[in-house]
Amino acid sequence: MVDTVLQVEGLTRTFDVSKPWLNRVLERDHKQFLTAVDNVTFGIERGETFALVGESGSGKSTIAKLIVGLLKPSRGTIAFDGQPMSFESGTAMRNLRRRFQMIFQDPFASLNPRWRVGEIIAEPIRTFGLASGADVHREVARLLEVVGLSATDAGKFPHEFSGGQRQRIAIARALSSKPEFIVCDEPTSALDVSVQAQILNLMRDLQDEFGLTYLLISHDLSVVRHMANRIGVLYLGRIVEVADSKRLFTDPQHPYTRMLLDAVPDLALSGRRRTPVTGEIPNPINPPSGCTFHPRCPHVMDICRGDPPAQTPTATGAAACYLLTEPVGS
Amino acid sequence: MAEIPLLSVRNLVVEFPSRRGTLRAIDDVSFDIAEGEVLGMVGESGAGKSLTGAAIIGLLEPPGRIAGGEILLRGERIDNLAAEPMRRIRGKRIGMVFQDPLTSLNPLYTVAEQLIETIRTHISCTERVARERAIALLDRVGIPAARRRIDDYPHHFSGGMRQRVVIALALAAEPDLVIADEPTTALDVSVQAQIIDVLKEICAERGASVMLITHDMGVIAETADRVAVLYAGRLAEIGPVRDVIQAAEHPYTQGLMGSIPTLTQTDTRLVQIPGSMPRLDAIPKGCPFNPRCPHVMDRCRHDRPVLIARGSKREVACWLYEAVREEVHHG
């Protein structure tokens, strides 16, 4: 039986990016909206790592913020463990909140510089009433050791640590409320490769130890390949393809996925001839009609400019491309 | 007579005087770049790769200064030049591409004005000729409708297009050497591949050498002929790209290569180098990598390893290979 932890259904978020009212009146401009996330649907099973990968402007961080409740969806639903999430405060929501946490990209910005590390980690423990008195300190010490730091680090300030160590502190803080599900938004993009390896290994160990479920958001295909069981590829706010991690890399279905894979520098020096990538991501305020990838797509057909393609099931997932449904050459 | 390399860096030392003593950010780094060669310079943050580039073009931020060694461009010293002759070398003989295209372009001038100014500073020609040259350059770096877009301001261009303009600017005076410092770090992967291709092609076409500074081994693998690996301001290993990537010899390079997740590997654990790179005020005695090295020997804690030649093209700063050499010698 499939045990779904998180189910996202038709999630959409638009931002008002209009000029100020007076400018609009004087310049006779209309209101402008940017659809950062457009009708996104996916589910995450317990214990797996689901990754969302995409380039800048693909809406991956917006999805992360929507899931943890830092932003309100414009349309669509998010259900955690079968319970729909509301964005009002309340006891039920509070209990639900404890069970998911987030790790941010920049460990220099996500830790309060005026707080000692011990206080940073203890805050969720106290807020959710998971321990009190001396137990809090014991728990903080234990968490610091779990992430590979020492218990005495609790008395230090964040600036005394390197980037990698700070990310460990952020992970300890995320773990302190005993969550089941962690949203990791580019957890290693600000780190050097050797430190990235330490953090990725730590994330895996913690997953095995505590049975965590991860939503990993990244622009780095090799990180995603290394960490994820299933991958969703985003382009301009839409999921263009979802597949098993292995399958996605050996047998990509959507032309955009293929292009993205081709663009990854080749460390194996196989001398493979890559198809030249063309064009850049269009402006999301004025996205192209139909399939938003059509101006860059090598297989573009007339139908692609009409309505956006629906998700078509593939061997291990789904892809939104007319190549999969329309007879080629028609 | 041996051929004079285009650029030769000999025993370069860069220091930062500070209240708590002098910090050595680059310590005895030597390498050559041959005519038409692409040399990759790789290392993690704080390894000194950007500083090496800045020292070569004479743009070290004070109080940083070159405290020793020499830099030779076609056999002539350029590290001790006065500001004005150095300024003429920058742009004319050495072009630069930086990480952030928005800060390398002046937002108040159109792309045409900036390109024409650069061309006319270094090459005597009329404004009209310079403009035609500029259009041809923009066209070559892949800017669509270059003739029309040349009069746009930098903010009219996307990130990838701006980096193309910066490449055009760096190549405007036909330099012998282009120093590219993290040219693709601010860009998305699909755009990164385009920019690497443009840089590589256009430099090959004009016979310009490239010093490519990056933290990304993948970019080096795709672009460079040789690669120099820096650690804590010192050269750990230098050699042909294929050798270094496929059979790294320095334990640091080995760890670095193993820590990079790849698309083809299965679900193995990444190699993990314990600890992190030392701060400049706490570089260990002997080999700077010794506290993190899995093969550390007693000698590594006292004696700083020298670069040991491995074959004709490769050098490694590690005592492990000295031992091998001695054994061979005695046997």
Closest CB to B189 among A55, A196, A201: A55
Closest CB to A263 among B158, B189, B277: B189
Q: Which residue of A has its CA nearest to B43?
A: A192
Instruction: Specify whether A272 is located in the same domain as A215.
Output: yes
Tokens 């990209």 label which residue? A105
Q: What are the residues of chain B with a beta carbon less than 8 Å away from any beta carbon of chain A?
A: 44-45, 158, 160-161, 188-194, 196-197, 215-219, 221-222, 241-242, 245-246, 255-256, 258-265, 267, 269-273, 276-277
DSSP string across A141-206:
HHHHHHTT--GGGGGS-GGGS-HHHHHHHHHHHHHTT--SEEEEESTTTTS-HHHHHHHHHHHHHH
CB B259 within 8 A of CB A194: yes
Q: Does the distance separating the beta carbons of B262 and A223 come in below 8 Å?
A: no
Q: For the segment A170-222, what is each residue's pLDDT rounded down to a tens digit?
A: 999 999 999 999 999 999 988 888 889 999 999 999 999 999 999 999 998 88
Q: Does the distance separating the beta carbons of A194 and B255 come in below 8 Å?
A: yes
pLDDT category at A328 given cuts 50, 70, 90 is low
Instruction: Specify whether A164 is located in the same domain as A269.
Output: no
Q: Is the pLDDT of residue B288 over 60?
A: yes
> How far, CA to CA in Å, does B270 sit from each of A123, B138, B229, B249, B267?
32, 42, 20, 18, 9
Look up residue B287 and give its DSSP letter: S
CB B68 within 8 A of CB B233: no
Residues of A in contact with B261 (CB under 8 A): 197, 200, 222-223, 225-227
Instruction: Specify whether A34 is located in the same domain as A133.
Output: no
Could you give the CA distance from residue B48 to residue B41 in angstroms, rounded to a whole number?
10
Give the distance, in angstroms, between the CA of residue B186 and the centroid of all CA atoms in the same chain: 16
Residues of A in contact with B276 (CB under 8 A): 162, 164-165, 194-195
Identity of the amino acid at A110: S
End-to-end Cα spacing for chain B: 35
Q: Is the pLDDT of residue B331 over 60?
A: no
Asked whether residue A295 is assigned to any structural domain, the reply reads no
Q: Is the pLDDT of residue B329 over 60?
A: no
pLDDT category at B123 given cuts 50, 70, 90 is confident
* Residue A214: CA count within 13 A, CB half-sphere: 29
CA distance A58 to chain B (A): 11
Instruction: Specify whether A188 is located in the same domain as A254.
Output: yes
Asked whether residue A202 is assigned to any structural domain, the reply reads yes
CB A103 within 8 A of CB A167: yes
User: What is the pLDDT, as a whole number, of residue B327?
Assistant: 55
pLDDT category at B131 given cuts 50, 70, 90 is very high
Instruction: Specify whether A20 is located in the same domain as A138.
Output: no
Do the strands A100-103 and A181-185 form a parallel or antiparallel pair, or are they unpaired?
parallel
Residues of A in contact with B191 (CB under 8 A): 277, 280
Residues of A in contact with B256 (CB under 8 A): 193-194
> How far, CA to CA in Å, does A301 sit from each of A90, A321, B48?
50, 11, 50
Asked whether residue A171 is assigned to any structural domain, the reply reads yes
Q: Does the distance separating the beta carbons of A266 and B44 come in below 8 Å?
A: no
CA distance A130 to chain B (A): 32
Q: Is pLDDT larger for residue A206 or for residue B1?
A: A206
Do the strands A33-45 and A100-103 form a parallel or antiparallel pair, or are they unpaired?
unpaired
Identity of the amino acid at B285: K
How is residue B246 written in tokens?
Answer: 């496929």
User: What is the pLDDT, as a whole number, of residue A330?
Assistant: 41
Q: Is pLDDT larger for residue B26 or for residue B271?
A: B26
CA distance B17 to chain A (A): 22
User: What is the pLDDT, as a whole number, of residue A232?
Assistant: 96
Which CATH number do you get for residue A93?
Answer: 3.40.50.300
Instruction: Specify whether A72 is located in the same domain as A216.
Output: yes
State the ipTM, two decimals. Answer: 0.81
Instruction: Specify whether A170 is located in the same domain as A189.
Output: no
Residue whose C-alpha is closest to residue B310's, from B300, B292, B324: B324
Region A9-32 average pLDDT: 88
Q: Does the distance separating the beta carbons of B158 and A280 come in below 8 Å?
A: yes
Residue whose C-alpha is closest to residue A172's, from A197, A193, A194, A151: A151
How is residue B302 written in tokens?
Answer: 């006292």
Q: How many structural domains compose chain A?
A: 2
How is residue A298 written in tokens?
Answer: 């090598």
Asked whether residue A326 is assigned to any structural domain, the reply reads no
Range of A138's domain?
Answer: 111-178
Region B265-276 average pLDDT: 78
Region A238-260 average pLDDT: 92
Residue where a domain terminates, one of A145, A160, A178: A178
Asked whether residue A224 is assigned to any structural domain, the reply reads yes
Q: For the segment A94-135, what is each residue's pLDDT rounded down to a tens digit?
A: 888 889 899 998 888 889 999 999 999 999 999 888 888 889
Instruction: Specify whether A153 is located in the same domain as A225.
Output: no
Identify the bridge partners of residue B73 per DSSP, sorted by sequence position. B7, B76
pLDDT category at B8 given cuts 50, 70, 90 is very high
Asked whether residue A327 is assigned to any structural domain, the reply reads no
Identity of the amino acid at B198: V
Residue where a domain terminates, one of A150, A178, A206: A178
> Side by side, which strands form the sheet with B314-316?
B94-97, B177-181, B209-214, B38-42, B226-231, B234-240, B314-316, B308-310
Q: Is the pLDDT of residue B210 over 70?
A: yes
Residues of A in contact with B192 (CB under 8 A): 263, 265
Instruction: Specify whether A22 is located in the same domain as A93.
Output: yes
CA distance B312 to chain A (A): 22
Closest CB to B259 among A193, A227, A260: A193
Asked whether residue A320 is assigned to any structural domain, the reply reads no
Q: Is the pLDDT of residue A1 over 70?
A: no
Q: Does the distance separating the beta carbons of B217 and A267 come in below 8 Å?
A: yes
Task: Give the torsion sign (CA, A186, A189, A195, A196).
Answer: positive
Phi-psi label, residue B105: left if phi above 0, alpha if psi -120 to 50, beta otherwise: beta
User: What is the pLDDT, as a whole number, of residue A269?
Assistant: 63
Q: What are the residues of chain A with a beta carbon less than 8 Å away from any beta carbon of chain B?
A: 55-56, 162, 164-165, 192-198, 200-201, 204, 219, 221-223, 225-227, 249, 259-269, 274, 276-277, 280-281
Asked whether residue A299 is assigned to any structural domain, the reply reads no
C-beta neighbour count of A191 within 10 angstroms: 24
Peptide bond into B63 cis (omega under 30): yes
Instruction: Specify whether A239 is located in the same domain as A208.
Output: yes
Residue whose C-alpha is closest to residue B168's, from B191, B144, B140: B140
Could you give the CA distance from residue B119 to residue B126 in angstroms, rounded to a whole number?
10
Residue A114, C-beta contacts closer than 8 angstroms, at least 6 positions apart: A157
Instruction: Specify whether A48 is located in the same domain as A148.
Output: no
Identify the bridge partners of residue A45 per DSSP, sorted by sequence position. A4
Q: For the segment B192-209, what is each residue's pLDDT rounded down to a tens digit?
A: 888 888 888 888 888 899
Alpha helices, H only, A231-293: 245-250, 255-263
Identify the bridge partners of residue B211 per DSSP, sorted by sequence position. B39, B179
CA distance A265 to chain B (A): 5
Closest CB to B276 among A162, A264, A265: A162
Q: Does the distance separating the beta carbons of B197 and A266 come in below 8 Å?
A: no
* Torsion on CA atoms B209, B215, B220, B221, rounded to nearest 10: 170
Q: Is the pLDDT of residue B28 over 60?
A: yes
Residues of A in contact with B221 (CB under 8 A): 265-267, 269
CA distance A245 to chain B (A): 10
Residues of A in contact with B216 (CB under 8 A): 265
Residues of B in contact with A194 (CB under 8 A): 44, 255-256, 259, 272-273, 276
Instruction: Specify whether A95 is located in the same domain as A190.
Output: yes
Q: Does the distance separating the beta carbons of A194 and B259 come in below 8 Å?
A: yes
What's the mean pLDDT when you consider all of chain A? 89
Residues of A in contact with B253 (CB under 8 A): none
Size of interface A-B (CB pairs under 8 A): 114
Identity of the amino acid at B202: I
CA distance A127 to chain B (A): 33
User: What is the pLDDT, as a whole number, of residue B1?
Assistant: 45
Of A123-127, A259-263, B292-296, B303-307, the poorest mean pLDDT is in A259-263
Residue where a domain terminates, one of A178, A213, A228: A178
Region B120-129 average pLDDT: 91
